[in-house]
């Protein structure tokens, strides 16, 4: 299939061509594990999962790397502020290491529930300090750094391409005057590569370095780890839109500054935000919802995945409970349709007719067009409801499409799974009672079956049963 992706670098959609035929190296910015992921964070991981599944579907051999930031970043700019992980540890009475482990586990529990596949490589920042130190040394050798106030800074004036990704303009910065004041910086956009000084005690999280005991700057880990696992240049780098102006901009300066190679990354993809009526969902504002809170309201995690798939990843998506409910209904109806399909045994091997192929092509065109999941979903619906297509083909198409959508639809296509004899007997007894026009007793049995998870529907061909879906 043909895949076109919107590249933030250049702001243009272009055909995806990997550096090396048949192979893709992809890096996605992972979680900072000092709190639960909120559903806005999760939206980005769902998008990245669709991309990952698409690449696999297209037949590429993929190495997907994701970091886990377990060394905290400061809460504010400059060399003051408090490390988030340390703050969380203090508040919860745990060690920093326990905090990181606890929330890493929680993160993967969420992503598992959302059918988000694990990257080939998941790497922790704290396990790659030597690589980071090495990167700073390389930058130092090439003249991109300066020492001030005990910290090592990146001197962006030595990197002419600085800000290209975000289309930053030197002049823009002045007017707003909202930039943190760090007297040591030569330019407001210079940033710290290695800290040895800060105004708070850093406890366990310090490491030796040529510049003294300290800890890495915020952007270092992604450059160091991505290059360790994917090489000095690779294909795709993803993250949320918020990373464009600072984090990814600085990553580029670090990586290309150290290697002298360009481009470090060929395709930059960014997911837009999930917003609420109170504005952007964020941990600092406290207006965030977690996957667990959705579950507490009776939603299935995949309802949320369906909800996200209903909008394009590059548009802001407005969260509301009503919209989530609509997604839940839609997903249930879809499963309902599928469980009523009853394809014949061995349907998995059914070859697609011309009509079936057309749906598949249409689906791949939608996905190939910068991952248009809303259109892909529309194609799925039309295919599933197409009476002119045999159930076997509809089942095959569903399974194929679901490999990218990840909605666990294959499970819904019950081929002839057997009903427990006891329940089957009830179904049959009820039908006999109906024939005798004893509807009161027949209805009672129908209620009992419903309690036991079986829904009976009467058709001209006799009763039909199915298992209740959640």
State the binding site for ATP.
283
Tokens for 417? 């799974």
Contacting range for RNA; rule: CB under 7 A; set: 136-144, 209-217, 293-301, 321-329:
321-329
Question: Which residues are CB-neighbours of 257 under 8 A, at least 6 positions away?
Answer: 139, 142, 144, 154, 158, 159
Does position 122 bind RNA by CB under 7 A? no
Question: What does DSSP say about strands 61-68 and 121-124: parallel, antiparallel, or unpaired?
Answer: parallel
Q: How far apart are the first and last CA of the chain?
A: 34
Distance CA 243, CA 384 (A): 39
Q: Does 375 bind RNA (CB under 7 A)?
A: yes
Residues present in the chain in total: 470
**Interactions with RNA, residue window 54-113 (CB under 7 A):** 73-77, 84
C-alpha to C-alpha distance for 26 and 126, rounded to whole angstroms: 21
Cβ-based nearer residue to RNA, 322 or 346: 322
Tokens 């696992």 -> residue:
229
Binding RNA by CB under 7 A: which of 201, 387, 417, 422?
387
Give the one residue of 143, 231, 279, 453 binding RNA; rule: CB under 7 A. 279
Number of helical (H) and strand (E) elements in the chain, helices listed first: 15, 16
Q: Does residue number 353 form part of the binding site for RNA (CB under 7 A)?
A: no
Residue 303 has φ and ψ, to the nearest 5°, of -60, -40
Closer CB to RNA, residue 320 or residue 353? 320
116 Cβ neighbours under 8 A, 6+ residues apart:
45, 46, 48, 49, 406
Q: Which stretch binds RNA (CB under 7 A): 40-48, 131-139, 225-233, 407-415?
A: 40-48
Q: Is 203 helix (H, G, I), strand (E, B) or coil?
A: coil
Residue numbers belonging to the annotated binding site? 29, 222, 247, 251, 283
Estimate the crossing angle of helix 391-405 against helix 373-384, to 10 degrees. Answer: 160
Q: Which stretch binds RNA (CB under 7 A): 147-155, 282-290, 394-402, 415-423?
A: 282-290
Among 144, 237, 312, 394, binds RNA (CB under 7 A): 312
Q: Does 358 bind RNA (CB under 7 A)?
A: no
Count of positions on this chain that bind RNA (CB under 7 A): 86
Nearer of residues 64 and 247 to RNA, judged by Cβ: 247
State which residue, 35 or 145, has the beta carbon closest to RNA. 35
- Closer CB to RNA, 167 or 228, in the complex: 167
User: Which C-beta is closer to RNA: that of 84 or that of 360?
Assistant: 84
List binders of RNA among 230-249 (CB under 7 A). 239-247
Task: Please identify, among the stretches 99-107, 194-202, 372-380, 397-405, the one whose residues bind RNA according to the rule CB under 7 A.
Answer: 372-380
Instruction: Tell whether residue 419 is a contact of RNA (CB under 7 A).
Output: no
Closest approach of Cβ 61 to RNA, in Å? Answer: 26
258 φ/ψ angles, rounded to the nearest 5 degrees: -80, -40
Residue list 149-188, contact with RNA (CB under 7 A):
167, 169, 171-173, 175-176, 178-180, 188
Residue 434 engages RNA in binding (rule: CB under 7 A): yes
| Sole binder of RNA in the list 58, 71, 225, 317 (CB under 7 A) | 317
- The pair of structure tokens assigned to 107 is 């993160």
Q: Which residues of 59-68 are buried (b: 16+ CB within 10 A; e: fewer)?
A: ebebbbbbbb
Distances (CA, A) of 95 to 33, 102, 203, 453: 13, 10, 10, 46
């Amino acid at each position: 299939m043909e895949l076109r992706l919107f590249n933030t670098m250049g702001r243009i959609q272009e055909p995806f061509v990997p550096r090396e035929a048949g192979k893709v190296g992809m890096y996605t910015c992972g979680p900072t594990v000092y709190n639960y992921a909120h559903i806005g964070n999760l939206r980005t991981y769902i998008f990245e999962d669709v991309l990952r599944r698409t690449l696999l579907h297209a037949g590429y051999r993929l190495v997907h790397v994701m970091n886990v930031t377990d060394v905290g970043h400061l809460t504010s700019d400059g060399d003051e502020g408090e490390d988030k992980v340390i703050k969380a540890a203090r508040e919860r009475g745990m060690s920093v290491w326990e905090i990181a482990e606890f929330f890493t586990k929680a993160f993967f529990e969420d992503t598992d529930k959302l059918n988000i596949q694990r990257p080939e490589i998941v790497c922790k920042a704290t396990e790659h300090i030597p690589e980071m130190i090495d990167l700073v040394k390389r930058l130092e050798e090439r003249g991109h750094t300066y020492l001030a106030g005990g910290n090592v800074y990146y001197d962006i004036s030595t990197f002419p391409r600085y800000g290209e990704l975000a289309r930053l303009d030197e002049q823009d910065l002045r007017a707003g005057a909202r930039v943190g004041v760090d007297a040591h910086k030569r330019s407001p956009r210079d940033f710290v590569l290695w800290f040895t000084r800060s105004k708070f005690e850093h406890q366990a999280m310090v490491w030796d370095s040529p510049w003294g005991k300290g800890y890495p700057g915020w952007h270092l880990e992604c450059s160091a780890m991505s290059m360790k696992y994917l090489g000095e240049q690779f294909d795709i780098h993803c993250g949320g839109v918020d990373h464009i102006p600072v984090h990814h901009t600085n990553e580029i300066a670090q990586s290309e500054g150290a290697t002298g190679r360009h481009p470090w990354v060929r395709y930059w993809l960014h997911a837009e935000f999930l917003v609420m009526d109170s504005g952007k969902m964020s941990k600092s504002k406290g207006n965030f919802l977690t996957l667990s809170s959705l579950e507490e309201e009776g939603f299935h995690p995949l309802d949320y995945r369906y909800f996200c798939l209903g909008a394009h990843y590059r548009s802001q998506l407005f969260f509301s409970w009503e919209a989530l409910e609509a997604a839940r209904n839609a997903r249930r109806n879809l499963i309902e349709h599928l469980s009523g399909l009853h394809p014949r045994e061995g349907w998995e091997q059914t070859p697609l007719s011309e009509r079936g192929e057309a749906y598949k092509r249409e689906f791949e065109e939608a996905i190939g067009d910068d991952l248009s999941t809303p259109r892909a979903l529309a194609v799925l619906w039309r295919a599933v409801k197409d009476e002119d297509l045999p159930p076997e083909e509809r089942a095959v198409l569903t399974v194929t499409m679901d490999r990218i959508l990840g909605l666990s639809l294959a499970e819904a296509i019950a081929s002839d799974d057997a009903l427990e004899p006891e329940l089957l007997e009830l179904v049959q007894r009820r039908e006999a009672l109906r024939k005798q026009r004893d509807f009161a007793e027949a209805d009672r049995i129908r209620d009992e079956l419903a309690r036991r998870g079986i829904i009976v529907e009467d058709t001209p061909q006799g009763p039909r049963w199915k298992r209740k879906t959640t």
